[in-house]
Amino acid sequence: MVGLRRLVPRGYLFTVIGIAVGLAGLVALGAMAERISRFVEGGERFVRSHITVAGAGIGMGVGFTAGGLLPRAKIAAVARVPGVAAVEPQVMLPLSTSTSQFLALTQELVLGLDAGGSSVASVRELPVRAGRMLAPGERGRVVVGADFAGARRLGVGGPLALGGRAFTVVGVLQQTLTAPDRFAIVALEDARDLWLARDPLLVQVLTAGGTLDRDDLNSGVVVRWAPGEDPDALARRIQATVPGVNVTVPGEVSRVLRESTAFLSALLLGVGVLGLVIGGLSLSNTVSAAVFERIGEFGIKRALGATDGQLLREVLLEALGVSLSGGLLGIGLAVAIGWVVDTAILREGQQAFVFSSRLVLFALLFALVLGALAAAYATQRIVRLTPAEAIRRGA
């Protein structure tokens, strides 16, 4: 408390604390809204970057995991559709089959890729924060998303058990605030082994000597379109051309994503606006009250010859110092609260707050502008009084 007193103008300690508390709430709400905004923006980029085609049927999850097998004959049929530039066989499995989660954008998933094939191109867009991506022919290795790693305290070289099998982490992705943050990326053959381990019936089908073999063990493909091709139109063309598959239309998935988060976004926006109004009034009232408490002191200074401009300049400088101190303290308090909450929920691979530079800058400007306006208003009220009346009111 003594140290804080040295950082703020004389007599304004509790004013700074009041501003800090109000601004901390405003910044925390803004950080939550920023998190949802980043999730929606990142999710849209992710779902619009490709078309997914999954096997028909009801699987263990959504997206790729919503369907059954997508055999290589179906993949070949998808590749022959006009407008398709490339298809990338993959296996995508929910990490936990007993947990129902919201869309594939928030679900922990095991993604199997052919590191030696064209599918590597689909993950090269994901920046690696530490380590590297999978190498061709590599088995028993895994690259994990930021939230996946954070929830389990994983680092490069660390062990990870998936489906009872031991893997070694060779890379951790940078945070994207969308689906890949919760991925565990393994080799395609490793993912097929995990799939067989959790589905004994599938093992029986493979060992029965039928037409099905390991190359048919795909939950879906990522489809890349030719330059100039409309991805939504291509997705519908695949639906119409290839029977027995589940096709995601990028535009429709994007719309569902926005609609599913629209209520929460609107709620946070409304609460944020309300907090802005309440916080603004509180900040203005706090600064004004602090100025009025010194009305007697200002009356004495005017009686000794201080001009209105000198008085206004003094009050403005003090108000800016108080607002800046309160703003910085409030931002620090909000960040501390966010860190505590995010640390607690990180065990579930979640993040509730994003403190962006634009949010911090807005909070500081908001505090400075309102503090200056409140100080100017209070000073104008004071200078309308005669020095004697100001001294009498402050006595």
Instruction: Please state whether beta strands 51-55 and 109-113 pair in parallel, antiparallel, or not at all (unpaired).
Output: unpaired
Q: Look up tokens 């103008």; give the residue.
A: 9
Residue 244's pLDDT band (boundaries 50, 70, 90)? confident
pLDDT score of 346: 66
Best CA proximity match to 91, nearest among 68, 108, 74? 68
pLDDT score of 5: 46
pLDDT score of 120: 42
| SS3 state at 171 | strand
pLDDT score of 57: 61
Residue 368 scores a pLDDT above 80: yes
Average pLDDT, the chain: 79
pLDDT score of 9: 52
pLDDT score of 63: 39
pLDDT score of 11: 55
Pick 81 or 308 by higher pLDDT. Answer: 81
Other Cβ atoms less than 10 A from the Cβ of 363: the count is 23
pLDDT score of 50: 79
Q: Among positive and negative, which fits the CA dihedral 241, 244, 245, 246?
A: positive
Residue 345 scores a pLDDT above 80: no
Mean pLDDT of the region 258-276: 71
pLDDT digits (tens, 9 = 90+) for 30-84: 888 787 777 777 777 777 777 888 887 644 443 344 457 888 889 999 999 999 9
Structure tokens given for 129: 């924060």
Residue 197 scores a pLDDT above 80: yes
- What's the CA gap between 118 and 198, in Å, rounded? 27
Angle at which helix 308-345 crosses helix 357-383, to 10 degrees, equals 150
Phi/psi for 338 (5° steps) reads -60, -40
Report which DSSP code applies to 174. Answer: P
Question: What DSSP letter does each residue of 244-281 carry, written as one string?
Answer: SEEE--HHHHHHHHHHHHHHHHHHHHHHHHHHHHHHHH
Mean pLDDT of the region 157-182: 89
Phi/psi for 391 (5° steps) reads -65, -40
Other Cβ atoms less than 10 A from the Cβ of 206: the count is 15
Residue 10 scores a pLDDT above 70: no
pLDDT score of 22: 77
Mean pLDDT of the region 328-354: 81
Q: What percent of the chain has pLDDT over 70?
A: 82
pLDDT score of 294: 73
pLDDT score of 65: 42
| SS3 state at 225 | strand
Phi/psi for 332 (5° steps) reads -60, -40
Mean pLDDT of the region 172-200: 87
Best CA proximity match to 18, nearest among 374, 265, 344? 374
Structure tokens given for 12: 């304004």
pLDDT digits (tens, 9 = 90+) for 109-126: 999 988 665 544 455 567
pLDDT score of 268: 67
Question: What DSSP letter does each residue of 85-143 carry, written as one string?
Answer: EEEEEEEEEES-TT---STTTSS-EEEEE-TTSTTHHHHTTS-EEEE-PPPTT--SEEE
pLDDT digits (tens, 9 = 90+) for 136-158: 888 999 999 988 998 888 999 99
Residues 167, 50, 220, 87, Cα dihedral to 10°:
-100
Q: 156 with 131: CB under 8 angstroms? A: yes
Cα dist from 353 to 65, 241, 338, whole Å: 29, 44, 6
pLDDT score of 6: 45
Residue 3's pLDDT band (boundaries 50, 70, 90)? very low
| SS3 state at 159 | strand
Residue 234's pLDDT band (boundaries 50, 70, 90)? very high
Mean pLDDT of the region 86-104: 71
Residue 8 scores a pLDDT above 60: no
Residue 167 scores a pLDDT above 90: yes
Instruction: Please state whether beta strands 183-187 and 159-162 pair in parallel, antiparallel, or not at all (unpaired).
Output: unpaired
Its pTM stands at 0.66
pLDDT score of 159: 96
CB proximity list for 382: less than 8 A, separation 6 or greater: 291, 292, 295, 298, 299, 311, 390
Best CA proximity match to 15, nearest among 393, 272, 371, 334? 371
